[in-house]
Structure 1
Amino acid sequence: MTWWAIVLIGCGVGFFAGLFGAGGSAVGTPLLHASGVPAFAALASPLPAALPIALAASGAYRERGYADRRVVTWSVAIGFPATVGGALLTPYLGGPLLVRITEGVVAAIGVRLVLFPHEPRERAEETGAFRVRMVMVAAVVGVFSGLLANSGGFLLAPLYLVVLHLPIKRALATSLVVAAALAVPGTVTHWALGHIDWLVVLAYAAPATPAAYFGARLAIRSNPEWLTRIYGAALALLACVLLIVRK
């Protein structure tokens, strides 16, 4: 395990997370594991770091009022218990398997965003069907965020775009706020299970937090469609390389 590698990974993942509206856990896990961090520590240690990362990045969006409060409320209310449930299932699946699942999910989302970068519609109206979709998104992301020990941001932003039809910057901003909230129950649960290495958390989060803020500032000034395509390509490439290396 190389501490300088963890610092550099934190800096890169933080900037990436701020740029693309996620807490960075999904990307941090395979990179940390590749640098020598044991599987369960690589899986869980980025999770507490996701809280300051997401808060720093969401601050840049919050200054412009992008976050959707109704989606935040529903996502947190449903996502909290779902995250705890997913985290409790983690010991039964094994660390290496969960790292592989993380990489596979990241690759699939990346390909989807490259091929179909979804042109978001205007703010959706509050209807019964819309609330059902919000509940479904929150439940699915909550279980995955607990199971894969991430704050859910890598799933939230795409689902907010595709399922809830939020505009891109509103989806990114809302994703960051919810990711910060969902990092809390997952962190507590994985801490109780003994999966978190707090030295790794410190080395990872210290450079990632300011980098996330600058990444978000850049995203606000960028073209939405190109951001989506670049995001997808980066996710797919990274996940495929890591899957091949550890084949």
Structure 2
Amino acid sequence: MSVAYTVSGLFVGVLVGLTGVGGGSLMTPLLTLLFGFSPATAVGTDLAFAAITKGFGTIAHRAHGHVQWQVVRRLCIGSLPAAVAAILVLKSAGELNAQWLHAIRLTIGVSVLLTVLSLLFRKQLLAWLARNPRFQLEGRSQAVATVAVGVVLGVLVTVSSIGAGAVGATLILLLYPHMKPAEVAGTDIAYAVPLTAIAGLGHVWLGTVDWNLLLALLVGSIPGIWLGAQLSRALPERLVRAALATTLTLVAIKLVS
């Protein structure tokens, strides 16, 4: 079975390399729907997986100066305490019963749908914001909104392991529309590292990380990300994103039904 996990890691890694998104939004549903892992184990293992892979991504982006550290700091002020609070709530629940597992599964489904919306309508949202500059936040209001976004993402990522990628990048871009695409990507990855690390450590504390599964996923995903990055030069991004959005929509429907 570990071969199947490695192949799944390879598949998800290729998609991440192609599009920059799809890690948590595909990995967690894949583990629950295809392999039958409990939602809690899928989330915990995927968070540990994300913390490792995003750590390498941050090193690369930092070397190129693509990280806006002020934005990272604001997001972390909101997301890190929110992640700790979410872990404590899960811990206080004790043994996760059927209702809790159903709630986590539902949260995963909603998070996947948010990822789809961010993939499909990001350009339209930015175009609307450009036509209506009065809605663009600045100064203190922008800082407060960034911290608030961090709180939402902290809870979402800790409970579902989804949201730090496409959803986070879209919200950053809406709050800071003048940032370059590479800066958005670098900033999104940089704030996600401490968030997924804390959330992942929390899930280690909860006992919801499957270490053998994590190793098998990493073995497949690391070369998969490299392969996807090479393929991205040949395949149209619009086509790949459309295919990813369609896949995620079907996954979300299955999760919430």
**Fold in common (TM above 0.5):** yes
Q: State the distance in 2 between where 1:198 and 1:111 align.
A: 32
Mark the CA change 1:61 to 1:29 in structure 2 (over 3 Å): closer, same or farther: same
2:200 to 164, 187, 193: 187
Amino acid at match of 1:188: L
Alignment gaps of 5+ in structure 1: none
Task: State the Cα distance separating 1:186 from its structure 2 match.
Answer: 0.7
Aligned equivalent of 2:43? 43
Aligned equivalent of 1:99? 105
Aligned equivalent of 2:217? 204
Q: State the distance in 1 between where 2:252 and 2:143 align.
A: 37
Larger radius of gyration: 2
The answer to whether the Cα contact below 8 Å between 2:115 and 2:163 also exists between their aligned partners in 1 is no
The SS at the match of 2:67 is coil
The answer to whether the Cα contact below 8 Å between 2:109 and 2:255 also exists between their aligned partners in 1 is no
Amino acid at match of 1:77: I
The farther-off stretch of 112-121 and 2-11 is: 112-121
Amino acid at match of 1:192: W
Q: Deviation per CA, 1:93-130, whole angstroms, max 9, x where unpaired?
A: 522432232123212331343144244899x9972122
Aligned equivalent of 2:250? 240
**Equivalent residues in 2 for 1:131-146, closer than 5 Å:** 131-146=143-158
Q: Deviation per CA, 1:24-74, whole angstroms, max 9, x where unpaired?
A: 223210011122242121121111110121123334433422111111122
Aligned equivalent of 1:129? 141
The answer to whether the Cα contact below 8 Å between 1:57 and 1:215 also exists between their aligned partners in 2 is no
Alignment gaps of 5+ in structure 2: 131-135
Task: State the Cα distance separating 1:216 from its structure 2 match.
Answer: 5.8
The answer to whether the Cα contact below 8 Å between 2:67 and 2:187 also exists between their aligned partners in 1 is yes
The SS at the match of 1:94 is helix
The SS at the match of 1:152 is coil
Amino acid at match of 2:171: L
The SS at the match of 1:66 is coil
Q: State the distance in 2 between where 1:88 and 1:235 align.
A: 33
Q: TM-score, normalised by structure 2?
A: 0.78
Amino acid at match of 1:103: G
**Equivalent residues in 2 for 1:208-219, closer than 5 Å:** 208-212=221-225, 215=228
Aligned equivalent of 2:79? 79
Q: State the distance in 2 between where 1:144 and 1:21 align.
A: 19
Task: State the Cα distance separating 1:232 from its structure 2 match.
Answer: 6.1
**Equivalent residues in 2 for 1:146-185, closer than 5 Å:** 146-150=158-162, 152-165=164-177, 166-185=179-198
The SS at the match of 1:61 is helix
Task: State the Cα distance separating 1:217 from its structure 2 match.
Answer: 7.5
Amino acid at match of 1:114: L
Task: Provide the aligned length of Structure 1 versus Structure 2.
Answer: 242
The answer to whether the Cα contact below 8 Å between 2:107 and 2:159 also exists between their aligned partners in 1 is no
Amino acid at match of 1:186: A
Amino acid at match of 1:129: S
